Amino acid sequence: MNEKSFADYSLSDEIKRALAVLKYETPTQVQNEVLPLAFEKQDLVVKSKTGSGKTASFGIPICEMIAWEEKKPQALVLTPTRELAVQVRQDITNIGRFKRIRATALYGKEPFSKQKEELKQKTHAVVGTPGRIMDHIERGTLDLDQIKFLIIDEADEMLNMGFIDEVEEIINELPLDRITMVFSATLPKDVENLCHKYMENPIHIQIETTT
């Protein structure tokens, strides 16, 4: 039974109001498992089915912990596809709307120059595909100095699509003092290996339900 409501969490009014607008009342199981540990700044490896609410499970803690005044990106979310990057950017914008959190999506097939201009504005969270993020790093248009949260979303898809080298290159550019959370519907060996290589004693969470 899942009796807990978002009101039982000590969330800020801004985030609570945003969840009310989204009509999120009861956390899903993965959200109930992830939220407390994310707020404790634990590295997490989360295996949970599609549709179980993984985005808000990382979106809520990062929006809550982002410092609005900081002018550089503090959260980096890697996604395997452009569609997912756009979706996650929108979800973070929705959750962070009353904190005026700005999120930027970076993906291929959109002009580099447009994204470069967006990155010149203050942005709190960057969501994107590994190839285009690597492009921005190489061309010096993405500053990762202040990244405190790394999220690898749909890690199994990411590695299936052959992004392992880019993902590792990006991780190697990030500050070591950060929280890393990996989300995946399945945990094949290559995902486990990646987690083992780049995370410090992560807690594993496995959820079987979608609600």
Q: Which does 52 bind (CB under 5 to 8 A by kind): ligand ADP, Mg ion, none?
A: ligand ADP
Of 9 and 107, which has the nearer Cβ to ligand ADP?
Answer: 9
Let me know: does 63 contact 24? Beta carbons within 8 Å. Answer: no
Q: Is 79 in the site for ligand ADP (CB under 6 A)?
A: no
Let me know: does 70 contact 100? Beta carbons within 8 Å. Answer: no
Q: Which of residues 13-32 bind ligand ADP (CB under 6 A)?
A: 24, 26-28, 31
Distance from C-alpha of 83 to C-alpha of 81, rounded to nearest angstrom: 5
Q: Which of residues 138-157 bind ligand ADP (CB under 6 A)?
A: none
Distance from C-alpha of 74 to C-alpha of 5, rounded to nearest angstrom: 28
Single residue of 29, 32, 42, 55 touching ligand ADP by CB under 6 A:
55
Helix (H, G, I), strand (E, B) or coil at 87: helix
Distance from C-alpha of 110 to C-alpha of 96, rounded to nearest angstrom: 25
Q: Is 54 in the site for ligand ADP (CB under 6 A)?
A: yes
Of 42 and 55, which has the nearer Cβ to Mg ion?
Answer: 55
- For residue 180, give the DSSP letter: E
Q: How many residues bind ligand ADP, per CB under 6 A? A: 13
Of 24 and 107, which has the nearer Cβ to ligand ADP?
Answer: 24
Return the structure tokens found at 68: 């609005």
Angle among Cα 79, 58, 77 to the nearest 5 degrees reads 25
Residue ranges in contact with Mg ion by CB under 5 A: 54
Residue ranges in contact with ligand ADP by CB under 6 A: 24, 26-28, 31, 48, 50-56
